[in-house]
A and B are shown apart, each in its own frame.
Chain A
């Protein structure tokens, strides 16, 4: 079990990443900002799932289950959206 200090460091990182979303929107043009924001959302998710939900300590297969669910929704959203382009 990791220390409180470690969890706090993650917390700070999460806050900074949250701010980064707004900053991207201010600084970059629209689609670059979309990319940046999604990237920082993905990193945040990785930090929370990996360390707060400590997926890193679970059997790897649990991570695969989660990724499978994520893959399913990415597939649904992208293929459906593509179908009407």
Chain B
């Protein structure tokens, strides 16, 4: 049976083209479990190696790679995607929506994630992967110091992962704000949805910072720039960029787990969360505070004591709202009547583990104590207690939602056995690490006095790993032979996902979910409308659920990135890059041209984002993340220049004039692009096409001036008149010359080329969009719907604004 153009679930093709949130949720969960097994195997290797001090089953380099990959895989490719599997499946159900706001982008997120993971795996076969710890501290993250070729590929894989996260961030922000059922206010969102909402807002800022850090790192790898080798603060720069992302990241991985805990505690105690409003407020506070403590990871660097002290105070501050949340959970448990099911056990266990992890974190937040603890197994124990506590809650979530997703019940007895083995294994493993807190992390030679603890940990690790065999066996049995679960197998569940079938139908609901009366009811879908009276224009059209483009774009990006990161190593890589780049362009056009209908509810878009179309809203969310990327590049420049001595710095362009001319060019293009919008609104096709072409032309002029400046003025610094004559007499040899700009000549060169280069890439992408619009407009598009013109315009103005700051910073100051 085919469901609205989607092949049946038994067909492989369905899983390649689906854009349905439940399918994608399942794909996320399965893929993340694959990475759990991969990261887990690495962990067991590490534990075996640590059975005794000194080289045993792994060489020094293999150990370094295993530790690095274990951390990166578990944090990026297991924990977060596992949580987002649930977010995909459950959040639309909890808010009473049919799907996410941008179903194709959702599929794109998934495929980018999968291929990013594959790229990571490939790095092991390229002569050594990254060997720098999951924090990737400089300068160990650089080829000069750690020349494994696969390390560059890892940077590419992580960049691709950041792209995936950015796309899904946009999707979830728009979805949760604009697709809630009628009458469902922000305050009344279920706690899991609240936790995801706050998670994606954190992701928006934090992952953009990581993206910037990785782009710069990528430049250091591929273009030989010298950001992180810079003596005056290169490695501090990495630490700042990484931890500005990294601290929020620990909440990003923890919040979804917290959401599962809050959800299951309510279901299995039969009580509404006590102090619900306060818990939400505390979570909002943590979201904001998470950006104010990052330097507590840098207490042993040379940052000044004032800022360390401030960060210590802020760190104490962030534990306060967490205390409130923990007490609210404990109080709910005390007041309610607990049913000791498997999901509850896992979540209760998670609470206990989290409390231990949180308390030991407060030790680390004290500067003096951290002088002692930094770089030891105390830290390793701490963050496993908190992060894997999150994992524990999520496994509870897997049991909790298993009947919803599969329509089958699992076996309670086996579930409890899994929990028992898990909990014992966990504590043997990680508590032993607290006991050996004087042992340095990331090296395998240790004082023999720690051997007993290490062996205890290794045994615990294997028990923990083995406990998952019970889980997989349980789910296997349940899937094939388990009793059928009805829509709501839990007596006191209170959220909307339990109000539909298990598993829910393709579009989730029979009627339309509605909360106008203060509780959930279903109103009839209007007669004769198959799509349930969705707003907007095409009333008779059914929503689409299949597209091949998300998979295609991800595949081509994968090819291109695999080539780019090792550009110049071998002709094969160069070819891959060029092929991948062009294929991605073609695929992107295919994506843009596809007529894909994903309706929005017409009551959607309420406070605080009322009356803004989802595409425009999504564009603004994207621009917010781009602001952080550009901001981080500019911030990196200011930081390095300050460390160098602000006024001692040599400005690279010898003349400001070309930059000023380019400023005029860009400002003019901003004016022409707004003209395009005006003409589109007035239905004036000639005006529209002409202004789009004019904008495109100005963008070209900008790039011509730019490349002329790059090639003639730098680094040889020929005179302006000479360069101009050369330009107009078509003496372009140097322009396409093989020398290339000297990006690695100095830190001044690196910052100038990389930052203006990032801007130039933005211009290029904008030109592709403008060219596309111009061609479509020439064929009559956009006269009755000017939205695409408006949204590309928003992007273009942003590129203009970026230049407003780059010009003075790099040319005249």
Question: Which positions 292-307 of chain B face chain A at CB distance < 8 Å?
Answer: 292, 295, 298, 302-304, 307
Instruction: Give A56 to B670 CA distance when docked, in angstroms.
Output: 17
Decide: A72 near B639, CB < 8 A? Known: A7-B674, A66-B624.
Answer: no
Please tell me which stretch of B141-149, B483-491, B497-505, B659-667 contacts chain A, meaning at least 4 of its Cβ atoms lie within 8 angstroms of it.
B659-667
Instruction: Give A18 to B665 CA distance when docked, in angstroms.
Output: 11
Decide: A21 near B808, CB < 8 A? Known: A59-B610, A69-B631, A75-B291.
Answer: yes
Instruction: Give A66 to B801 CA distance when docked, in angstroms.
Output: 13
- What are the interface flags for B608-650 relative to A under an 8 Å C-beta threshold, 1 for contact and 0 otherwise? 1111100011001101110110111011001100110001000
Which of chain B's residues have a CB closer than 8 A to the CB of A74?
Answer: 631
Flag if B609 contacts A76 (CB, 8 Å). Answer: no
Flag if B608 contacts A59 (CB, 8 Å). Answer: yes
Interface residue? B585 (CB, 8 A): no
Interface size class of B (residues with CB under 8 A): 35 or more
- Among B204, B620, B630, B678, chain A packs the most CB atoms within 10 A around the CB of B620
Tell me, rounded to whole Å, the shortest Cβ–Cβ distance linking A18 to chain B: 5
Which of chain B's residues have a CB closer than 8 A to the CB of A33?
Answer: 813
Which of chain B's residues have a CB closer than 8 A to the CB of A59?
Answer: 608-612
Tell me, rounded to whole Å, the shortest Cβ–Cβ distance linking B674 to chain A: 5
Flag if A81 contacts B797 (CB, 8 Å). Answer: no
B639 contact from A30, A58, A62, A84, Cβ within 8 A: A84
Instruction: Give A65 to B624 CA distance when docked, in angstroms.
Output: 7
Flag if A73 contacts B797 (CB, 8 Å). Answer: no
Flag if B804 contacts A41 (CB, 8 Å). Answer: yes
Interface residue? B656 (CB, 8 A): yes
Which of chain A's residues have a CB closer than 8 A to the CB of B617?
Answer: 62
Instruction: Give A69 to B663 CA distance when docked, in angstroms.
Output: 24
Which of chain B's residues have a CB closer than 8 A to the CB of A1?
Answer: 678, 681
Tell me, rounded to whole Å, the shortest Cβ–Cβ distance linking B670 to chain A: 6
Query: Who on chain B is nearest to A41 by CB?
Result: B804
Instruction: Give A41 to B667 CA distance when docked, in angstroms.
Output: 13
Instruction: Give A48 to B295 CA distance when docked, in angstroms.
Output: 35
- Per DSSP, chain A at the interface is helix
- What are the interface flags for A36-57 relative to B under an 8 Å C-beta threshold, 1 for contact and 0 otherwise? 0110010011001100110000
Flag if B304 contacts A83 (CB, 8 Å). Answer: yes
Tell me, rounded to whole Å, the shortest Cβ–Cβ distance linking A43 to chain B: 10
Tell me, rounded to whole Å, the shortest Cβ–Cβ distance linking A21 to chain B: 5
Which of chain B's residues have a CB closer than 8 A to the CB of A49?
Answer: 797, 801
Query: Who on chain A is nearest to B237 by CB?
Result: A80
- Among A18, A22, A52, A59, chain B packs the most CB atoms within 10 A around the CB of A52
Which of chain A's residues have a CB closer than 8 A to the CB of B800?
Answer: 48
Flag if B807 contacts A45 (CB, 8 Å). Answer: no
Interface residue? B233 (CB, 8 A): yes
Tell me, rounded to whole Å, the shortest Cβ–Cβ distance linking B671 to chain A: 4
Flag if A70 contacts B678 (CB, 8 Å). Answer: no
A77 contact from B208, B638, B675, Cβ within 8 A: B638
- What are the interface flags for A1-24 relative to B under an 8 Å C-beta threshold, 1 for contact and 0 otherwise? 100100110010011001101100
Flag if A76 contacts B209 (CB, 8 Å). Answer: yes
Query: Who on chain A is nearest to B663 by CB?
Result: A18
Interface residue? B805 (CB, 8 A): yes
Decide: A66 near B627, CB < 8 A? Known: A7-B671, A84-B643.
Answer: yes
Instruction: Give A8 to B233 CA distance when docked, in angstroms.
Output: 45
- What are the interface flags for B653-691 relative to A under an 8 Å C-beta threshold, 1 for contact and 0 otherwise? 000100010011001101100110010010000000000
- Among B209, B302, B304, B635, chain A packs the most CB atoms within 10 A around the CB of B635
Query: Who on chain B is nearest to A14 by CB?
Result: B667
Which of chain B's residues have a CB closer than 8 A to the CB of A77?
Answer: 631, 634-635, 638-639
Flag if A15 contacts B667 (CB, 8 Å). Answer: yes
B656 contact from A15, A22, A30, A84, Cβ within 8 A: A22
A7 contact from B205, B611, B678, Cβ within 8 A: B678
Interface residue? B723 (CB, 8 A): no
Interface residue? B395 (CB, 8 A): no
Flag if B668 contacts A84 (CB, 8 Å). Answer: no
Flag if B291 contacts A72 (CB, 8 Å). Answer: yes
Flag if B813 contacts A34 (CB, 8 Å). Answer: yes
Flag if B623 contacts A81 (CB, 8 Å). Answer: no
Which of chain B's residues have a CB closer than 8 A to the CB of A84?
Answer: 233, 236, 302-304, 639, 642-643
Flag if A76 contacts B642 (CB, 8 Å). Answer: no
Flag if B609 contacts A62 (CB, 8 Å). Answer: yes
Which of chain B's residues have a CB closer than 8 A to the CB of A27?
Answer: none
Decide: A76 near B240, CB < 8 A? Known: A18-B663, A59-B610, A59-B611.
Answer: yes
Instruction: Give A4 to B23 CA distance when docked, in angstroms.
Output: 48
Flag if B608 contacts A61 (CB, 8 Å). Answer: yes
Interface residue? A68 (CB, 8 A): yes
Instruction: Give A22 to B621 CA distance when docked, in angstroms.
Output: 33
B801 contact from A11, A45, A72, Cβ within 8 A: A45
Interface residue? B219 (CB, 8 A): no
Which of chain B's residues have a CB closer than 8 A to the CB of A19?
Answer: 660
Decide: A70 near B631, CB < 8 A? Known: A37-B813, A76-B209, A84-B302.
Answer: yes
Flag if A73 contacts B804 (CB, 8 Å). Answer: no
Which of chain B's residues have a CB closer than 8 A to the CB of A69?
Answer: 204-205, 208, 624-625, 627-628, 631
Flag if B670 contacts A37 (CB, 8 Å). Answer: no
Instruction: Give A60 to B608 CA distance when docked, in angstroms.
Output: 8
Instruction: Give A81 to B664 CA distance when docked, in angstroms.
Output: 31
Tell me, rounded to whole Å, the shortest Cβ–Cβ distance linking A38 to chain B: 8
Decide: A66 near B813, CB < 8 A? Known: A80-B635, A84-B302, A84-B642.
Answer: no
- What are the interface flags for B392-412 relative to A under an 8 Å C-beta threshold, 1 for contact and 0 otherwise? 000000000000000000000
Flag if A48 contacts B797 (CB, 8 Å). Answer: yes
Interface residue? B244 (CB, 8 A): yes
Interface residue? B764 (CB, 8 A): no
Decide: A68 near B624, CB < 8 A? Known: A14-B667, A37-B808, A41-B804.
Answer: yes
Instruction: Give A69 to B635 CA distance when docked, in angstroms.
Output: 13
- Among B295, B302, B617, B808, chain A packs the most CB atoms within 10 A around the CB of B808
Flag if B302 contacts A81 (CB, 8 Å). Answer: no
Tell me, rounded to whole Å, the shortest Cβ–Cβ distance linking A36 to chain B: 10
Query: Who on chain A is nearest to B624 by CB?
Result: A69
Query: Who on chain B is nearest to A36 by CB?
Result: B808
Which of chain B's residues have a CB closer than 8 A to the CB of A25?
Answer: 656, 812-813
Which of chain B's residues have a CB closer than 8 A to the CB of A34?
Answer: 813
Instruction: Give A4 to B50 CA distance when docked, in angstroms.
Output: 72
Flag if A61 contacts B609 (CB, 8 Å). Answer: yes
Q: Give 6 A-B contacts (CB < 8 Å), ordered by A residue.
A: A7-B675, A37-B808, A45-B801, A45-B805, A62-B612, A83-B298
- List residues of A whose CB falls within 8 A of some B CB: 1, 4, 7-8, 11, 14-15, 18-19, 21-22, 25, 30, 33-34, 37-38, 41, 44-45, 48-49, 52-53, 58-62, 65-66, 68-70, 72-77, 79-85
| Nearest 8 CB-CB pairings of A with B | A73-B631, A77-B635, A61-B608, A83-B303, A69-B624, A69-B627, A80-B240, A11-B671
Given A59-B608, A84-B236, 10 other A-B contacts at CB below 8 A?
A1-B678, A8-B671, A22-B812, A34-B813, A41-B808, A52-B674, A59-B609, A62-B612, A65-B621, A77-B635
